[in-house]
Amino acid sequence: MAGSGIRVLVAEEVKSFLPYVEVPADVEIEWLSASQPVPEGDYPGLLPLLSRRIDAAVLDRLPRLAVVANYAVGYDNLDLEALRARGIAASNTPDVLTEATADLTWGLILAVARRLCEADRLARTGEWAWHPTLLLGMQLEGRRLGLLGAGRIGQAVGRRARPFGMEVTYWDLLKQAEFEGEVGARRVESLEVILAGSDVVSIHLQLSDETAGLIGARQLNAMKEGAVLINTARGGVVDEDALCAALKAGKLRGAGLDVYADEPQINDCLKALPNVVLLPHVGSATEDTRRRMFELAWANLMRGIRGAPLVTPI
Ligand code: DGY
């Protein structure tokens, strides 16, 4: 039953992190599970998961909403125009998930380059013997990593490339001078050129009108023969049918994906290929990181409901 406190709607799936934050005496939490629609009501704060679309129709149900504290660094689930039009503040969770996501990206790079999932499947059959050409993969040393996007996560992925002996290039609107100095990374000004020159292409772009479907048949065709494509950003950046065709044609050696255009659905064509490693959007899934994401989202929520400046506004 509703009391007289400040009511906030919080994704039920983050409930286990609640002991890590302080809940002010005047704040009342209403848990909202992913399967429930947003209820109508006078809630000044909302903390949703990335799987919940927050658009005009949802906002119309929440006339007193002051803040949406997204539990994710990506915010393609938020209709920013609709939020702006209503004067509602919004925040995301940058920084706290950078290292976990970069680690996972490297997990995928290694898994695809060295065929770890194929090897695991074969080992379990018991029907194998050591052989000089068994499951040969791509040696990373001396190869070139091409980062599409060199924001926080792209740079963290780039920093991890040095110990593997990889050369690092990046494609980004901004020149990242410090990153270049630290990692020896080189900026490439055209998408086509970085695609054509990279042995491993790793995507670290936000999903937006500009990046939706950015990697389609033409771009995949521009990639180096036998290269690897990794995506831990947003599925919608890649045309999955075109990717599957490029893999089937042998143009690419393999792909490692943590994100999909229509989550939780995964393209059947990709699922049928042995040289694709598929993960269920677990880039930031470490205990520490998911807790820190909650702490940050909660801090934003608490500030937003009181009209204070957000910690990490969008
Ligand atoms: C994000 O935060 O945007 C990731 O996709 C999940 O942590």
Check: CB of residue 170 under 8 Å from CB of residue 188: yes
Ligand 1 centre to CA of 280 (Å) is 12
CA–CA separation, 127 vs 122, rounded Å?
7
At 227 the three-state DSSP class reads strand
Q: Identify the pLDDT of residue 1.
A: 46
**C-beta of 73 in contact with ligand 1 (< 6 A):** yes
> What is the C-alpha to C-alpha distance for residues 181 and 186, in angstroms, rounded to an integer?
9
Q: How far apart are CA 48 and CA 177, in angstroms?
A: 35
Beta pairing class for 6-11 and 27-32: parallel
C-alpha Rg value of the chain to the nearest Å: 21
Q: Is 72 in the pocket of ligand 1 (CB under 6 A)?
A: yes
**Ligand 1 atom closest to Cα of 284?**
7
Q: What is the pLDDT along the chain (314 residues), one digit of tens a residue?
A: 456 799 999 999 999 999 999 999 999 999 999 999 999 999 999 999 999 999 999 999 999 999 999 999 999 999 999 999 999 999 999 999 999 999 999 999 999 999 999 999 999 999 999 999 999 999 999 999 999 999 999 999 999 999 999 999 999 999 999 999 999 999 999 999 999 999 999 999 999 999 999 999 999 999 999 999 999 999 999 999 999 999 999 999 999 999 999 999 999 999 999 999 999 999 999 999 999 999 999 999 999 999 999 999 99
pTM (global) more than 0.85: yes
283 lines ligand 1 (CB under 6 A): yes
Task: Calculate the CA 212 to chain-centre distance.
Answer: 14
Confidence (pLDDT) at 3: 63
User: Nearest 5°: phi and psi at 285?
Assistant: -80, 70
The response to whether residue 74 sits with its C-beta less than 6 Å from ligand 1 reads yes
CA 141 to chain centre: 26
Q: How far is the CA of 208 from the centre of ligand 1 (A)?
A: 15
Residue 189, token pair as written in the block: 């000004």
